[in-house]
Amino acid sequence: QVIKTEGTGTESPMIGDKVTVHYTGWLLDGTKFDSSLDRKDKFSFDLGKGEVIKAWDIAVATMKIGEICRITCKPEYAYGSAGSPPKIPPNATLIFEIELFEFKGEDLTEDEDGGIIRRIRTKGEGYSKPNEGAFVENRVFDERELRFEIGEGENYDLPPGLEQAIQRMEKSEESVVYLKPSYGFGSAGKEKFQIPPNADLQYEVKLKSFEKAKESWEMNTEEKLEQSSIVKERGTQYFKEGKYKQATLQYKKIASWLEHETGFSEEDDAKAKSLRLAALLNLAMCHLKLKEYSLALENCSKALELDSSNEKGLFRRGEAHLAVNDFELARADFQKVLQLYPSNKAAKVQLLACQQKIREQHEREKKMYANMFQRLADKGAKVSGSTLQNPGRTEWIHVGKEATGIGAFCLPSSVLPMVQREDSPAPHLQRMEAALWYHVWPRCQSQAAQRVV
């Protein structure tokens, strides 16, 4: 490797970094076989992942930003005895000139928002990684050695992003993890470590060892019931402490372990159903506390599939509907609760709240559409002479099947009750209203709205 132009800075790419380069490749006889410069398109790859020839993984790992180097690659570090037909023959020694433009760590977030960046300083052993429930040992910024269960890091003052990164590590791996505030200690900071609010964090972590937790398919029915009872108690304790995220992790285990299990005896099947129902109801409650209403609805619905008249399931689903302003659905759930459990005072209170919200919503709709209709009617009056020749007569508008998808959905019954489907009595509209329809949907007259005198 010969450095033609020195780079800047002190850092070089690490294993797993996304690197971006320009390159040109030649055979020993000077024949150029490839060039990103000719294509005017930089080339990116993940370092140390086997995406390029061995020589590149070795050489680029030593480079700095802006560096240009020339490397000579023996066949065993290039394309070997196979070559890369038709341009590279077998057992060819290759020459590359590479310029490094940038490198960045691996983004571990689902949304790739840059909130958790990992850079591997020392690659780990094997391919196994710790799963949820595994016990791990790692070193954090305060230099303590720690053994903890994945999913319980907050109890040991570990930010959630660090736990997520550790789950991607291999045994003996050393990594640098960069966390944005939303994956660190957030707006609260961490007084114990004198970390201010909204601070970016950097951790250097070594995963010394881990013991994988048993997967669902590795447990027999007896183990599943036993472990479900244990984690249910653990989840309940977290809930009492206000640690709703940790509680959800425990309840999710129960739901996943028991959801598709069919090998229970009759007695054990009843226990399993009871545990799963409790887990789903508790998950719904946790998600309500966390304002994750769609997840609360999902778990309530699953619970009600097991017990359609469950009081907590109906009530919590009603709460979730109410939180997202689905007042009609919320009212139906609270009415069902009171039908089955008339003494439920909380449901009575919530039902009254729903009815009040529905009334307020109807009033807002009436005002909104009344104002809109008046403005459009004022404009429509200018063309009403051509639309309705006899202003003193009552006009009928026939709304056919085609019209129901065009105009009817815009006009709530609380605002314009005379607009009905064709299987209902024909609506009577005054001249202004008829003119309004003709003015708003002029292209639909021949197909959907017919003027009947």
Catalytic positions are: 23, 33-34, 53, 79, 96
CB 338 within 8 A of CB 312: no
Find the farthest-apart pair of alpha carbons in the chain and give their distance in angstroms, rounded: 98
Residue 199 burial (C-beta neighbours within 10 Å; 0-12, 13-18, 19+)? middle
CA angle centred on 312, ends 297 and 216, rounded to 5°? 65
CB 163 within 8 A of CB 109: no
Q: How many other CB atoms are there within 10 angstroms of residue 173's CB atom?
A: 23
What single-letter DSSP state applies at residue 84?
Answer: B
- The b-or-e profile of 395-422 (16+ CB within 10 A means b, else e) is bebebeeebeebbbeebbeebbeebeee
d(CA 385, CA 192): 78
d(CA 377, CA 394): 17
| Residue 406 to residues 178, 388, 428, 430, Cα–Cα distance (Å) | 53, 21, 19, 21
d(CA 238, CA 154): 11
d(CA 150, CA 146): 12
Here the tokens at position 131 are 């799963």
- Helices and strands (H, E) in the chain, number of each type: 13, 16
CB 337 within 8 A of CB 315: yes
Residue 342 burial (C-beta neighbours within 10 Å; 0-12, 13-18, 19+)? exposed
